[in-house]
Each structure stands twice: as C-alpha cells, then as structure tokens.
Amino acid sequence: MYSKFQQFLQSELTEIKNGGLWKNEREITSPQSADINVKGEKVLNFCANNYLGLSNHPRLIAAAKKAMDERGYGMSSVRFICGTQDLHKKLENAIAGFFGTEDSILYASCFDANGGVFEPLLTEKDAIISDALNHASIIDGVRLCKAQRFRYNNADMEDLEKQLQAAKDCRFKLIVTDGVFSMDGNVAPLDKIHALAEQYDAIVMVDESHSAGVVGKTGRGTTEQFDLRGKIEIISGTLGKSFGGAVGGFITGKREVIDLLRQRSRPYLFSNSLPPMVVAAGMETFKLLAENNDLQNRLHQNTEYFIKNMIFEGFDIKPTESAICAVMLYDAMLSQQMAAKLQEEGIYVTGFYYPVVPKGQARIRVQLSAAHTQEQLEQAIKAFVKIGKELGVVR
Ligand SMILES: *Cc1c(COP(=O)(O)O)cnc(C)c1O
C-alpha cells in the first residue's frame, strides 16, 4: 500500500532539493546565546529571536527550576479541567500589565493563539482585512474562520482603505497586522491603521511577536511607539522571542474578547496547559523588565550601532525600525555564498531568497540582541566588510 505514496513523497522531496529550497538544520551544542557552538565551532549568533538576551538568563533559569521543584513538571490537563495553577493567572495578569490591556489568555504558542483567535469571534457576516505579509499563523487562523477575507498590500494605507470600503456592508470588520514584518524589519503604521479603523468603524488586531520587547522606548511594542496603549482591541504575542525564547503564546486585549476566547477558542480548550516552569520563567521575565529599561536600551543601542556602521561601510540596508536588519544582496546565490563565508568567519547569519522573500530581493537577515557586546558587533561588521569585499558587494 505504501509504495505508491512513497514514490509520490520521494518525488516531492526531490523537487524541493532540485529547487534549491531544502532546509538544513544546523545542530547547536550549547545554550542559545550571543555565542554558540555549531558543529564544535564557536560562532557569534546573529539569527536568533533572542532580542533581549533572555534565552539563557540566570534569573529565568532559577525561576524555572524553582517552579519545577515546587509545582512539578507537567499539568496533564487543559486549562478548564484541571490545568490552571495560580501561576497561569499571574502570568496572564503580568502580560496584561506589560501591554496596558484588560486581560490575557495563554496558549501553547503564538501560532496556536493566532490559529484560535478569529473563529470564535467572527462569522460569515463579518470581514477580516489582513496585511499581505502577515505571519503564516495569521493566514491559517483566518482560513479557519468563516468571515469574509480581504487582503491589502504590505503597510499600504491606500489599499487598506479600499478594502475597508469593499467590506463596508459587513457587520464587523477586523483589521489584522504584524507589528514588525520579519523579513524587512519595518513596523506596521499602527497610527494610520487605527485612524482608518475609527473612520470605517473597524477593530484592530496586531501581532507583537517581533515587536514586543523591541519597539517603543520601553519595548512595550507598537502600541507604545504610536501612543495607542489600551486602544488596540486585540494583541497577540509569543514567549518564544523577546520573552525568554522557550515556548508559549498569548492574546491580550479587551476583557470580553478574552472571556469569549476562554469559552470557545479551540487550541485553548483542547490543548495542554503550559508547564509551570515555563509559566514561572515567563513571570520572572516581566518582573525583570519592570525593574528597569537596561535590556531595551542595550538592544536599541546595539541595533543603531550595527546599522550605522554597516551603512557607513557601504552595505545596502533596508530601512528598519526593529532589531531586524536586512542586508540586501538581491541575488539568491550570492546570499547563500555570503552566509556560508560569514559562518567560516565565525558569524552565524541566514541568507533568505525566493520564495521566502520576493524574487530578486535576496538578503542576509541580521537580528540584533541585547546580549551582543560591543566587541561582538565590531567583529561581525569586520567580517561583513571582509567577505563583502571578497564577493564584490562593497568596495
Ligand atoms: C514567531 C511568530 C509567531 C509564532 O510564534 P510561536 O510562539 O513560535 O508559535 C507568530 N506570529 C509572528 C508574527 C511571529 O513572528
């Protein structure tokens, strides 16, 4: 029975390989950090979402260990049966405090949060108006919902207005956008989106996965940057990037939204609770971030320093307002060559090319972290210049 299916799978796999689209996993043998071991080689890591450098932070590890000792390993249940500890409620409150919202609900991941947020809230009478570059989990979540679908070009407010007009007869209209778009590092124009939402009587959802901890003076995300704290109805986010990098996602926002999600959101109702150690480390993260702004300041300084110097050295950098810096190379082959040669120099980055980015828009994406030292940043820039000259990218 299997042989025909096997042949089909083999041909699919071959097609992926022949298309140059095969994703290899490089094995790391150290904790996630600014410097890591890859295949026995020490390299500087510039491709993790470890924006605040918390992935291996002693306070988070201590909090996780303590919770493991005091609250055990797993919950063996979903939230509404016997999977809710006081810790879960405390973390939900801490997240709401961080974002200035009314309440929050935890999920196993932000992928689950986005997968479970639309379907319980909207029906075929309603409209979802989604940015064309939104994350895969938003696209999947929208697919699971019966609402009518409208799409606008990335951060294009004229097009958004057109789509709002096209959706004008729908009962409720929800505009949904990533806070930071992961390939360019641009921030969604939330001020303009919010103004259009007011004008056309729509509600707004922003996914702060790449912006929380990063964007805004204190890293509270796009609602801080655009002075909209408390004014955006729905925010989604992850504990898997700035906030410790382990696992977990959330929706935070208006109380009634969260209340209804607790009753009807399928990934929340039918998937296991987060383990106590992850929840406790999450709480420690928000406690740590409430104490001072050191990590956010450090990240902002590092990002500014890296970009300023890369531009000075002649690299073509996409305008960015986040900790994502796209070094434009345009040519797919060149992006792969450059990433490989940089790794030989001890700089770990990833080259992205079609279909992850548009054709002819190949690049190396550099992600900055508060954990990078000045020395490490200088080392990376030096390596970029050396390899850039070798490959004729800069003079
Ligand atoms: C990373 C990311 C997610 C997924 O988060 P997980 O918690 O890892 O599932 C969702 N949305 C956006 C915009 C992301 O960048």
Per-residue confidence (pLDDT) for residue 337, from 0 to 100: 95
Which residues, 6 or more positions from 5, have their beta carbon under 8 angstroms from its beta carbon? Answer: none
Query: What is the whole-number distance in angstroms between the Cα of residue 114 and the centre of ligand 1?
Result: 9
Quick one: pLDDT at residue 23?
87
| Nearest atom within ligand 1 for CA of residue 247 | 7
List Cβ neighbours of 218 (8 Å cut-off, separation of 6 or more): 224, 293, 296
Query: What's the pLDDT tens digit per position in 252-279?
Result: 999 999 999 999 999 999 999 999 999 9
Of 32, 182, 209, 268, best ligand 1 pocket probe by most atoms within 8 Å of the beta carbon: 209
Tell me: pLDDT of 24 over 90. no
Query: What digits encode the pLDDT tens for the residues 126-152?
Result: 999 999 999 999 999 999 999 999 999
Comparing 9-13, 25-29, 102-106, 207-211, the range with the smallest average pLDDT is 25-29
Tell me the one-letter amino acid at 157.
M
Q: Is any ligand 1 atom within 6 A of the Cβ of residue 238? A: yes
Backbone angles phi, psi at 244, to 5 degrees: 105, -25
pTM (2 decimals)? Answer: 0.97
Distance in angstroms (rounded) separating the CA atoms of residues 147 and 125: 6
Q: What is the pLDDT of residue 136?
A: 97
Confidence of residue 379 (pLDDT cuts 50, 70, 90): very high
- Residue 253 CB less than 6 A away from ligand 1: no
182 is catalytic: yes
Taking 90 as the threshold, does the pLDDT of residue 20 lie above it? no
The per-residue pLDDT for range 114-124, each reduced to its tens digit, is 999 999 999 99
Q: What is the mean pLDDT of residues 43-72?
A: 98
Query: Residue 21 pLDDT > 90, yes or no?
Result: no
Instruction: Give the closest residue to 381 by CA, choosing from 323, 342, 324, 330.
Output: 342
Report, as an integer, the average pLDDT of 340-364: 95
- pLDDT tens-digit readout, 170-219: 999 999 999 999 999 999 999 999 999 999 999 999 999 999 999 999 99
pLDDT band at residue 86, thresholds of 50, 70 and 90? Answer: very high
Q: Could you identify the atom of ligand 1 that is nearest to the CA of residue 180? A: 13
The protein residue whose alpha carbon is closest to atom 6 in ligand 1 is: 110
Per-residue confidence band for 76, with pLDDT thresholds at 50, 70 and 90: very high
Pocket test for ligand 1, best of 105, 111, 214, 268 (most atoms within 8 A of CB): 111
Q: Which two tokens stand for residue 10?
A: 């083999």
pLDDT digits (tens, 9 = 90+) for 265-324: 999 999 999 999 999 999 999 999 999 999 999 999 999 999 999 999 999 999 999 999
Chain segment 60-69, per-residue pLDDT in tens: 999 999 999 9
Average pLDDT value for the chain: 97
Ligand 1 centroid–CA 395 distance in Å is: 37
pLDDT in tens, 105-114: 999 999 999 9
54 has pLDDT over 90: yes
135 in ligand 1 pocket by Cβ < 6 Å?
A: yes
Count of alpha carbons within 13 angstroms of residue 343, beta-carbon side: 18
The protein residue whose alpha carbon is closest to atom 2 in ligand 1 is: 209
Atom of ligand 1 nearest to the CA of 112: 9
Does residue 300 have an active-site annotation?
Answer: no
CA 234 and chain centroid, separation: 16
Does any ligand 1 atom lie closer than 6 A to the CB of residue 372? Answer: no
pLDDT at 311: 97
For residue 85, pLDDT beyond 90: yes
Residues in the chain, total = 395
| pLDDT(350) > 90 | yes
Atom number in ligand 1 closest to CA 239: 7
d(CA 131, CA 155): 7
Distance of alpha carbon 146 from alpha carbon 114, whole angstroms? 15
* 348 Cα–ligand 1 center, Å: 21
Q: Is the C-alpha dihedral spanning 183, 184, 187, 189 positive or negative?
A: negative
Query: Residue 22 above 90 pLDDT?
Result: no
The pLDDT, as a whole number, for residue 333 is 92
Residue 366's pLDDT band (cuts 50, 70, 90): very high
Domains in the chain (CATH in brackets) are: 21-50+293-390 (3.90.1150.10), 58-291 (3.40.640.10)
For ligand 1, whether the C-beta of 243 sits within 6 Å is no
Mean local confidence (pLDDT), 155-159? 98
Per-residue model confidence (pLDDT) at position 40 = 87
Measured distance CA(359)–CA(361) in Å, rounded: 5
* CA–centroid distance, residue 238 to ligand 1 (Å): 6
Segment 365-384 mean pLDDT: 98
209 among known catalytic residues: no
For ligand 1, say whether the CB of 211 is within 6 Å of any of its atoms: no
